[in-house]
Amino acid sequence: MVDSHVLQRRDVRNVANVADLPAFRRLLRLVALRTAQQLNMSDLTRDVALSAPTAARYFGLLEATFLVSRLPAWLSNRAAREIKSPNLLFADSGLAAFLSGVRSLAPEAEEPMRPGARLHHWTLHGRHQVDYVIEDDDGRVTGIEVKSAQRFERKDLRGLLAFADAAGERHAQSWLAYDGDEVVPLGPRLWAVPLGALSE
């Protein structure tokens, strides 16, 4: 009986002409370790010890097979969005955890999505950031910052407050998703919500 892993390796080689499977696996692990972080192809290429064209081709294969995707930055200027570096997202969080060496996971909410909405991240000069920005078809935006802790402090709101200021009239609401049980109003159009609420 032919080992399924052997067949998978042959499939990868046949589809993408992957000549160096150890390097491809190394790239896959590094991408998993960097999920939800800003994508820097130069650093990734250096760390995986591949040439830039080969790393780009292998990374393209991960995108083509929907294992990874690029989460674009949200900026009010649409042209600037194309320049700002995207965040890297591994589609399967369980596989990402396995590849990263994580063997125990607390329950996590699924990625928040709405029909007709576009998902982004947001940063401001490296000082403030928001994990997710949902932009609807009318250009209205919702900021979501995720905290794994059961408690939160005022400093945890800095990114959301800065985002609301930057978004101006486009700001619909912002949520601080935390590992608690209560919905807590924190200010105009700003709430702390349980992580589980993001999947409802």
pLDDT for res 102: 63
> For residue 88, how many other CB atoms are within 10 A of its CB?
23
Question: pLDDT by residue (tens digit) across 94-120?
Answer: 787 777 766 554 544 343 335 457 888
The pTM is what? Answer: 0.54
Give all domains of the chain, ordered by start, each with its CATH number: 4-99 (1.10.10.10), 118-195 (no CATH)
Specify the residue for token string 């486009």: 170
DSSP per-residue string spanning 44-70: HHHHHT--HHHHHHHHHHHHHTTSEEE
Q: Which helix (H) or strand (E) holds 165?
A: helix 158-167
Q: Are 166 and 135 in contact (CB under 8 A)?
A: no
Cα gap 123→145, rounded to integer Å: 12
Question: pLDDT by residue (tens digit) across 159-173?
Answer: 999 999 999 999 999
Q: What is the DSSP letter of 149?
A: S
Lowest mean pLDDT among 43-52, 70-79, 184-193: 70-79
pLDDT higher than 60, residue 17: yes
